[in-house]
Structure 1
Amino acid sequence: MASLSDPNAPPPHVVEDCRGALQLLSDGTVVRAAAAPPPFHVRLDINDGRVEWKDAVYDAAHGLGVRMYRPAATGGAEEKLPVVVYFHGGGFCIGSCTWPNFHAGCLRLAAELPAVVLSFDYRLAPEHRLPAAHEDAAAALIWLRDQLLSDPWLADAADARKVFVSGESAGGNFAHHLAVRFGAAGLDPVRVAGYVLLMPAFISERPTPSELAAPATAFLTRDMCDRYCRLALPAGADKDHPLVNPFGPASRSLEAADVGRVLVVAADGDLLRDKNVEYAERMKAMGKDVELVVFAGEEHAFFGVKPMSAATGELVEVIRRFIAGAAA
């Protein structure tokens, strides 16, 4: 085998590509794009002054940031706002809270719910394979608990008893695991009033009908899903790993888990639809307080991909009703 210094050795070539945002080369080098690739570009003039936002670092050791949003007219408000934690999607491999599409979605959540919104980054694979990202998500909630009690920018606007943990795709997967870990009371004195799983990334070795029917033109294809799993899962793990299959052969029983209130949103045209529906139905069969909403005519990650669409507007209204249910 030619050595790396051999002038006759072929140049490194791409062996894995994730939407152009991430490429793994044959020599093990990881190349990341400096900016979000299509279709993650949206217009940036969507904020009409209703929302103010700022960036912070929640984990200096790993260089992890958070983008925080709040409606501009919160100063001196008598009634504080619910808090929405958001973890972006990207197959555990790509994405950032600074990408225009995720930024646009969080602006919309903050303005239309209305709510204080915190969009957290996390370590990405393959440089940091799972469970690194799940560890970061838990650390983000613990950081938020402390900040809600000490940071005036948040404390003046946010209701620490109405925290909702959400995420899309990979982020929805995090929301499930955080629900199992923290439930409704695991961040005392901060209260998690609900968990919102948007098209959560659940998969298994046995393909479902919605996976088998997914066309090659879909936003999330079987090939792309397999690629994310190869890059993100622990070395040697398959798609029945407990981090991606909550009902796999090695997964812990969820019968005794107090997950609080849960909203599961599925997309009818998503290859993960069947796993999302199965998750909601099995959790409800265990007596969990789980609501399932399926969006007809939409594909995987439509919130993150099309943050300004009418469907996303309908989704924001679904989330608003779920949040209102916490008060009831």
Structure 2
Amino acid sequence: MSGHAAPAPHVVEDYRGVIQLLSDGTVVRSDAGAGAGALLPPEDFPDVPGVQWKDLVYDATHGLKLRVYRPPTAGDAERLPVLVCFHGGGYCLGTFEKPSFHCCCQRLASELRAVVLSADYRLGPEHRLPAAIDDGAAVLSWLRDQAMSGPGADSWLAESADFSRVFVAGESAGGNMSHHVAVLIGSGQLTVDPLRVAGYMLLTPFFGGVERAPSEAEPPAGAFFTPDMSDKLWRLSLPEGATRDHPVANPFGPDSPSLAAVAFPPVLVVVAGRDILHDRTVHYAARLKEMEKPVELVTFEEEKHLFLSLQPWSEPANELIRVMKRFIHKDEGSNNF
């Protein structure tokens, strides 16, 4: 027998002290790293008066939950649109319980007059992609089953939800997930009848690619999210050995299937001017428009990545919620504004 001990595991990937991937595959997570402070605003997030919420299990096999919010005075006298929300975090971080995102969802339920479902999903590197996208699809399947259950559905959904007006939204990685859920449904790979998905909202979505976009090569002034941060998150979340041209990261990469035949309902794409992903997001919207997909691009020139959930009570957040309200209620007449 050799007297030499096996070498101790060493760090092979470190995301700002928050996530460390060791050489033996162990993942160490910490709330005390530099990334945690950088993404947690030093402010309070008061509850929105009258908004109720509760947590439900949507995938018992993986222990995954979602949080349901409903606005004040919601009941069976009024059928409300349903907004499915996916949080950001580079497919490696985040939860619906994060105070700032919880606050956002309360605001959305109250001000959009909608039933909001905020879902957790599996994160990398413990669960590499496409696990999270599979979970996003499972949320829509769970909602489909609720719609089919009639009086047997969750009481809040049975009383208040209009299953013919479902919208899917996400911020950062959640925006990326919203795109992939749209493709699954629009290509017929995911059947959601009797649900009707009436639109998608991609808020500063997290996309990538091997070739740098101009705003990645020369980041805008004030951008806190850096190319190095983006690269590490993709390395921690994509299948091992995959590049940033993997179809999950780059919908228009060399190995990505064509979206020409995919049926999209209206898509709202929101881009921030001081975000390294600005140019990549603008390119995404332009490519969909070239395919004659119904895309609306809205730019917030002075804002940064994740500006809604990082500053949920700011004036830019107020304006974004107004944009989302117009998008959801645009076919219902001007009395909704």
- TM-score, with length taken from structure 1: 0.91
**CA-CA distance at 1:285 after TM superposition:** 1.3
Aligned twin of 1:31: 28
Structure 2: distance between partners of 1:4 and 1:263: 60
**CA-CA distance at 1:218 after TM superposition:** 2.8
In the alignment, does 2:238 pair up with 1:238? Answer: no
Q: Which of 178, 196, 201 is residue 201 of structure 2 equivalent to? A: 196
**CA-CA distance at 1:184 after TM superposition:** 10
SS state at 2:274 partner = coil
SS state at 2:303 partner = coil
Aligned residues of 1:263 and 1:291 also touching (Cα < 8 A): yes
**CA-CA distance at 1:25 after TM superposition:** 3.2
SS state at 1:156 partner = helix
Structure 2: distance between partners of 1:81 and 1:296: 32
**CA-CA distance at 1:16 after TM superposition:** 2.8
Deviations along 1:136-184, whole A, 9 cap, x unmatched?
1101110012224422211211111110001011111111111111139
Provide structure 2 residue ranges, at least 5 long, that are not aligned to the other structure. none
In the alignment, does 2:64 pair up with 1:64? Answer: yes
Aligned residues of 1:50 and 1:72 also touching (Cα < 8 A): yes
Q: Which of 18, 22, 31 is residue 21 of structure 1 equivalent to? A: 18
Aligned residues of 2:100 and 2:310 also touching (Cα < 8 A): yes
The verdict on how the C-alpha distance between 1:4 and 1:29 changes in structure 2, with shifts beyond 3 A counting, is farther
1:120-269, aligned counterparts within 5 Å? 120-148=119-147, 149=149, 150-183=153-186, 186-214=191-219, 218-269=223-274
Deviations along 1:253-289, whole A, 9 cap, x unmatched?
1111101110000101111111111111111111110
Aligned twin of 1:95: 94
Structure 1: distance between partners of 2:4 and 2:287: 51
Structure 1: distance between partners of 2:131 and 2:256: 18
Aligned twin of 1:86: 85
1:281-292, aligned counterparts within 5 Å? 281-292=286-297
**CA-CA distance at 1:43 after TM superposition:** 5.1
| Counterpart amino acid of residue 181 in structure 2 | L
**CA-CA distance at 1:210 after TM superposition:** 0.4
RMSD: 2.3
- TM-score, with length taken from structure 2: 0.89
| Counterpart amino acid of residue 94 in structure 1 | L
**CA-CA distance at 1:48 after TM superposition:** 4.0
Deviations along 1:219-247, whole A, 9 cap, x unmatched?
21010011011111111111111111111
Structure 1: distance between partners of 2:187 and 2:266: 8
| Counterpart amino acid of residue 202 in structure 1 | F
Aligned residues of 1:42 and 1:104 also touching (Cα < 8 A): no
Structure 1: distance between partners of 2:220 and 2:283: 21
Structure 2: distance between partners of 1:259 and 1:15: 40
Provide structure 1 residue ranges, at least 5 long, that are not aligned to the other structure. none
The verdict on how the C-alpha distance between 1:5 and 1:54 changes in structure 2, with shifts beyond 3 A counting, is farther
SS state at 1:296 partner = strand
**CA-CA distance at 1:5 after TM superposition:** 5.2
